[in-house]
Amino acid sequence: MSEQSDRGPLPIPLPPVGEGEVVSPAGDAKKIRIATCSLAGCFGCHMSLLDIDERLFGLIKLVEFDRTPLTDIKHCGPCDVGIVEGGVCNAENVHVLKEFRNTCKVLVAIGACAINGGVPAMRNNIDLWECFQEVYQYEGGLDGGQVPNDPELPLPFDKVHPIYEVVRVDYFLPGCPPSGDAIWKFLTDLLNGREPKLDYEMLHFD
């Protein structure tokens, strides 16, 4: 799963359990804290995360969620695992991503967009300047129009990039989106201290 062979043991030691099941940690062991976010993505990977269906209940016994689109927490506290959907397309994405990298012990890139830019990266062969002029200035009925410049709006990058070109990433989970099964397999491996490994049919780029 990881492409850096020189990594040490996984930082989340949990008692080993059988394939595909999650056993509550012995005694009063602390729950694993997970944060997730969507940068330049479509929330599809998050939807797929929900696709692990009733297994979610088992998961909830083991983990607790920090900042995610589900919890509405605005900033990450210290977390064990950060899961990032989407590539980096603007300045705000960088701030969020860096916050994740700084607060999460393990950072996971989930989905095609986080891994190679994905569909949003299709804009990479369109010149940003020309594109914005076309949209905001030359389009019919926009006489005197202007590119929005409100400081609240994050400035877009020239190109969309995968997150590993901006911060160090520990694990990759490809797919557009990865299936619920793939996510489940990945998480259970990770939470059980195994090097995550997808079966052939779970590994796909689309």
Partner 1 sequence: MQQFEFSDISRMLTPIFARHDVDASRLLQVLLEVQDACHFIPSEAIDQIAAHFDVPRVNVEGVAGFYSFLSTRPVGEYRILFSDNITDQMLGKDELMLYLCNKLWVEPGKVSEDGLVSVASTSCTGLCDQGPAALVNGWPLTNLDRNRLDLIAELIRSRKPVADWPPMLFEVADNIRRSDVLLGQPFEPGAAMRATLARGAKETLAEVDKSNLRGRGGAGFKTASKWSFCHAAIVEEEGSMICDVGGHPERYIVCNADEGEPGTFKDRVLLNSYADLVFEGMTVGARVVGASKGFLYLRGEYRYLLKQLESVLQKRREAGLLGDAILGRADFSFDIEIHLGAGAYICGEESALIESLEGRRGRPRNRPPFPVTHGYKGRPTVVDNVETFACVAKIAERGGAWFAAMGTAQSTGTKLLSISGDCATPGIYEYPFGVTVRQILADCGAREPYAVQVSGPSGTLISWKEFDRRIAFEDLPTAGAFMVFQRKRDMFQTARNFVHFFAHESCGFCTPCRVGTELQKKIMDKIASGHGTASDLEEMKSLGHILKTMSHCGLGSSAANPVLDTLEKFPDVYVRKLKALAFEPAFDLDGALETARKMTGRDDDWAHL
Partner 2 sequence: MSKTITIDGLTVPFREGQTIMDAALSAGVYIPHLCHNPEFKPHGSCKLCTVNVNGRNVASCTLPAVEGQQVLSDIAELNAERLALTQMLFVEGNHLCPACEKSGNCQLQAVAYYLGMMSPHYNHFYPQREADASHPDVMLDRNRCIYCELCVRASREVDGKNVFGLSGRGIKTILAVNSASGLLGDTDLAVTDKAVQVCPTGAILVKRRGFTVPIGQRVFDHLTIKDLQTGGGHE
Residues in contact with partner 2 by the rule CB under 8 A: 1-3, 109, 112, 115-119, 121-122, 124-125, 159, 161-162, 164-165, 169, 171-174, 176, 200-201, 203-206
Residue whose CB is less far from partner 1, 162 or 196: 162
Select from partner 1, partner 2, none the partner in contact with residue 200, using the beta carbon and a kind-dependent cut-off of 5 to 8 Å: partner 2
- By CB under 8 A, residue 165 contacts partner 1: yes
- By CB under 8 A, residue 5 contacts partner 1: no
State whether residue 64 is helix, strand or coil.
strand
Report the C-alpha gap between 105 and 203 in whole angstroms.
24
Give the pairing type, strands 79-85 and 104-110: parallel
Report the residue from 53, 139, 158, 195 that binds partner 1 according to the rule CB under 8 A. Answer: 158
CB of 75 to partner 2, least distance (A): 27
CB of 35 to partner 2, least distance (A): 20
Question: Which residue stretches of 66-175 are H helix?
Answer: 91-103, 111-116, 128-133
Q: Which two tokens stand for residue 71?
A: 């919890």
Residue whose CB is less far from partner 2, 62 or 89: 89
- By CB under 8 A, residue 155 contacts partner 1: yes
Determine the distance from the C-alpha atom of residue 25 to the mean position of all C-alpha atoms in its chain, rounded to a whole number: 25
List Cα–Cα distances, 72 to 31, 47, 121, 144, in angstroms.
19, 16, 27, 39
CA-angle at 133, arms to 130 and 139, nearest 5°: 120
- By CB under 8 A, residue 138 contacts partner 1: no
Report the residue from 94, 112, 114, 191 that binds partner 1 according to the rule CB under 8 A. Answer: 94
State whether residue 32 is helix, strand or coil.
strand
Give the pairing type, strands 88-90 and 156-161: antiparallel
CB of 85 to partner 2, least distance (A): 13
Q: Which stretch binds partner 1 (CB under 8 A): 25-33, 42-50, 53-61, 164-172?
A: 164-172
- By CB under 8 A, residue 126 contacts partner 1: no
Residue pair 68/36 in contact (Cβ under 8 Å)? The answer is yes
- By CB under 8 A, residue 123 contacts partner 1: no
Report the C-alpha gap between 142 and 82 in whole angstroms.
42
Binding site for partner 1 (CB under 8 A): 91, 94, 128-129, 132-133, 147-149, 151, 154-159, 161, 165-168
